[in-house]
Structure 1
Amino acid sequence: MKNLNSIDDIKDFIKENKFVMLYFSSDGCSVCDDVLPRIEELLKKQPKVVSGHVEIQNIPSVASVFGIFTIPAVIIFLEGKEIVRQARYINFLELKEKIQRFSEFV
């Protein structure tokens, strides 16, 4: 999972990759810390997904640019368009199924 440290880095990352998952978290968020390894484990089985990690305290404006109202948050993009968003409660089974379904288009 690549650490992204600016709005421009995030936008370029989305443009440069066809199938992208962004994980938004915050330092000191215990739920975020618990979810991250589960996200990383899920992504090991999804080689078509390129992933990025954004710590929102490092980029305060990211919340408004991407409409992040609660963390942790996962946003998945296909060809630059948002196709999946989950926040606060991440349903890993549903997330896995959606990734597999959209993988067919990559």
Structure 2
Amino acid sequence: MKKIQTIQEVITFIENNPLAFLYVSQEDCSVCHALRPKLMELLKNYPTIELREVEADKVKEISAEYLIFSAPTLLFFVDGKEYIREGKFVQFKKLANTIDRIYSFEESRI
């Protein structure tokens, strides 16, 4: 998973990708390290969703800009608008169902 290093890169990533998924983690977070491979595996089913990781302890502005208070936080943006926000204890079945509905709708618009 590619990492984003600045808040401007985050903003540009969300603006330039119609389906943008942001994984906000912290270096010393064991839950973050455990969720990363599960998320990457899930998103393989959605090839047009772009995924990036931001380490909140390195890009401190992310917390203020997107109201992130804990890690991990998963954010899914469609055309720049936040559609999904999950944190800490992610229910992957529910997340997959929600992504599936949004993805199917967005793919049908193309």
TM bracket, shorter-chain basis: over 0.9
Give the match for residue 80 of structure 2: 80
Q: C-alpha distance in 2, partners of 1:85/1:103?
A: 16
Give the match for residue 93 of structure 1: 93
1:2 shift after superposition: 2.2
1:23 shift after superposition: 0.3
Q: Write the mapping of 1:4-83 to structure 2, written as runs, cut at 5 A.
A: 4-83=4-83
Q: SS at 1:93's partner residue?
A: helix
Q: Give the TM-score, by structure 2 length.
A: 0.92
1:41 shift after superposition: 0.6
Q: What one-letter code is carried by the residue in structure 2 that aligns with 1:42?
A: L
Q: Deviations over 1:54-103 (max 9, x none)?
A: 01111112111111011111000000000010011111111111111111
Q: SS at 2:5's partner residue?
A: coil
Q: SS at 2:53's partner residue?
A: strand
Using the aligned pairs only, state the percent identity.
31
Equivalences, count? 106
Q: Give the TM-score, by structure 1 length.
A: 0.95
Give the match for residue 103 of structure 1: 103
Unaligned runs of 5+ in 1: none
Unaligned runs of 5+ in 2: none
Q: What one-letter code is carried by the residue in structure 2 that aligns with 1:77?
A: F
Structure 1 stretches (4+) deviating beyond 2 angstroms?
none
Q: What one-letter code is carried by the residue in structure 1 that aligns with 2:67?
A: G
Q: C-alpha distance in 1, partners of 2:28/2:3?
A: 17
Q: Deviations over 1:32-72 (max 9, x none)?
A: 01000101111111112111100111111211111101111
